[in-house]
Amino acid sequence: MEKRFTADDVQVISKDTVFKGYFQMDRYVLRHRRFDGSWTQDITREIFERGHASVVLLYDVDRDRVAMIEQFRPGALAAGWYPWLVECVAGIIEDGETPEDVAWRESEEEAGAKPSAMIEVGKYLVTAGGSSESCALFCARVDSATIEGLHGLAHEGEDIRVFTLPSAEAYEMCKDGRICNSMAVLAIQWLMLEKDAIRRQWLG
């Protein structure tokens, strides 16, 4: 799609950090060019800054199984949802790390998995209306027979259960709502679309 605007079409009037704890909240006052060429009035928005993440779909191409994790999420609790969510492996990209570095590290930390290959699927914004967070999505080739048990870093309060299931069953869980984490839904739907290509690439 053609990019109609440039950096000159946004004016940040002020930016202030209004909260900084485990996460950070910044308040922006800005204006931007409209599609008709005029400028908006000043707009005030609070932006949630939580960093950028890598997400990894662990896929056993030989058995056509995926490895998923389950863990407690306070955001789901606050939303009134069942707070133990089925997800993909994921982690925040720290300073000095690449998204792929994090994908390899988190595969082992959260699932005890040691991928034999990994491809980058693409990047996306999670909720651009109020957060700067982006995700880099990867698909890692794993041996599902070696993946089980409880994982996570105790000093980070992590309690993560990993389990494997057929990819078709994971897709059904997305459709009926048992998997409702957006990162996992995107990853599994991508796999359903690209599975034949992945199998050709990894199986020859």
- Measure the N-to-C terminal CA separation of the chain; round to a whole number of Å: 34
Torsion of CA 37, 38, 43, 46, to 10 degrees: 10
DSSP string, 155-166: GGT--EEEEEEE
Catalytic, 156? Answer yes
Q: Of these residues, 156, 158, 169, 194, which one is catalytic?
A: 156
CB 164 within 8 A of CB 147: yes
With beta carbons less than 8 A apart as the criterion, state whether 71 and 152 touch: yes
CA–CA separation, 134 vs 157, rounded Å?
Answer: 23
Which residues are CB-contacts of 142 (< 8 A; sequence separation ≥ 6)?
Answer: 58, 59, 60, 67, 107, 113, 114, 115, 116
Catalytic residues: 156
